Amino acid sequence: MSDCLVVGGGIIGLLTARYLQQGGATVRVLERGEPGRESSWAGGGILSPLYPWRYPAAVNSLARWSQRHYPALCEELRAATGIDPEWTRSGLLILDPEQDGDAERWARANGQPLTHLDSRAVARLEPAVGPRPGALHLPAVAQVRNPLLMQALQQDLRQCGVALQSHCPVTGLIVEGGQVRGVKTPAGEQRAARVVIAAGAWSGQLLAQLGQALPVHPVRGQMLLYRGRPDYLRAIVLLEGHYAIARRDGRILVGSTMEEAGFDKGVTAEARAALMAAAEAMVPALADWPIERQWSGLRPGSPSGVPFIGPHPRLAGLYINAGQHRNGVVTAPASARLLADLMLERRPILEAAPYAIERDAPSPLLQA
């Protein structure tokens, strides 16, 4: 029997399992499909919230801790597995001029470097964006290639003895005397002293099936991938909510939509046209570049964008780590470490109250 069962094999679940294992726990991860192949695989891998000044302090706190620890995490994974997650300090070039005031106040408050660029400076820094009246530059922002990160995490966990079980949907909780003792699956019961729900966009649905309620729901994001050449674009470019990210091999990823489409992961011609227009507005040359593919992922949306991290208020042994919305990759290390600290009764890296399950509810969000 495992000490801990982690339900969900995305970046939140895998990193939670890693920190728990490093803390001495025996851990098994149960994934309804293939580990790492949902939102964690589909996103862009930008290690910053888009327009971070628009987010609550609780989101930025998770992001800052994660940003500090990502270089070491990626190097540990590369050394252990030979798979390089391609952590790269690209910088973030924001072409929305109306962001100036809010951005300055946020940068001062958070000690983040921010530079105002005039048209000539923009042209020198990033010629690919074409003529611009000006831009904001956050030089410290980095990226990872999230599919490689997910591959490295899986291999590292297996090498460390963490069991990853694919195609194993959870259909119920085993509750005895007000204490969670494991989960039910189509293949039978799996017992553990503690259970973590980290099922991404499926977390709310899963808890509802288990007789609980949590306001986490799927938000579809569609993406395009252009086949380009290395070093054509260096910075991450952001304009009106869309972004262009250059990978080391020259491919440029453009995203993304924000759609309330339930659990439908289909792609649409409308989204393709909108993303193409956004791509050409940011990097005009993309009008002539071939599109390699289009795909979508389902983000775990939550009411304020602040995730739910912590113990269930009435069911002992049940923990939740879900609702990171479109900031799952950038906040994952801190989200996972915070929950591991709470579960292992260590001093937490951050104040846990902003992420408590019932923090915003006039009446309980979860009912046992």
Which of 280, 301, 322 lies at the terminal end of a domain, its last residue?
Answer: 301
Q: What is the DSSP-derived secondary structure letter of residue 368?
A: -
Q: What is the pLDDT of residue 100?
A: 65
Domain boundary residue, one of 258, 281, 301: 301
Domain assignment present for 197: yes
Number of neighbours of residue 289 by Cβ within 10 angstroms:
18
Q: 13 lies in a domain?
A: yes
Query: Domain with 338 in it: what CATH number?
Result: 3.50.50.60
Tell me: do 153 and 277 sit in the same domain: no
- Return per-residue pLDDT of the chain as tens, 368 residues: 579 999 999 999 999 999 999 999 999 999 999 999 999 999 999 999 999 999 999 999 999 999 999 999 999 999 999 999 999 999 999 998 666 688 888 998 888 999 999 999 999 999 999 899 999 999 999 999 999 999 999 999 999 999 999 999 999 899 998 899 999 999 999 999 999 999 999 999 888 877 778 999 999 999 999 998 898 999 999 999 999 999 999 999 999 999 999 999 999 999 999 999 999 999 999 999 999 999 999 999 999 899 999 999 889 999 999 999 999 999 999 999 999 999 999 999 999 999 999 875 443 444 43
Same domain for 231 and 192: no
Same domain, yes or no: 125 and 229: yes
- Are residues 168 and 201 located together in one domain of the fold? yes
Q: Examine the domain organization and report whether 275 and 226 are in the same domain.
A: yes
Same domain, 104 and 198: no
Q: Name the residue among 312, 323, 296 with its Cα closest to residue 217.
A: 323
Does residue 321 sit in the same domain as residue 343? yes
Please report whether residue 83 resides in a domain: no
Residue 362: the pLDDT is 40
pLDDT of the residue at 101: 82
Mapping DSSP onto H, E and C, the string for 320-341 reads EEECCHHHHHHHHHHHHHHHHH
pLDDT value, residue 365: 47
Report how many domains make up the chain: 2
7 plus 63 within the same structural domain? yes
Give the domain range for residue 325. Answer: 2-68+147-216+303-355
| Torsion from C-alpha of 152, 153, 159, 164, nearest 10 degrees | -130
Q: What CATH code is carried by the domain that includes residue 237?
A: 3.30.9.10
Asked if residue 96 belongs to a domain, the reply is yes
Phi-psi region of 66 (alpha: psi -120 to 50; beta: other; left: phi over 0): alpha
* Residues 236 and 289 reside in one and the same domain: yes
Distance (Å, whole) CA 172 – CA 323: 20
Residue 44 domain-assigned (yes or no): yes
Is 76 domain-assigned? no
What φ, ψ does residue 147 adopt, rounded to 5°?
-60, -40
Output the pTM of the full model.
0.95
Given 301, 316, 345, the domain boundary residue is 301
32 and 172 both lie in a single domain: yes
- Residue 117 and residue 9 share a domain: no
Are 296 and 309 contained in the same domain?
Answer: no
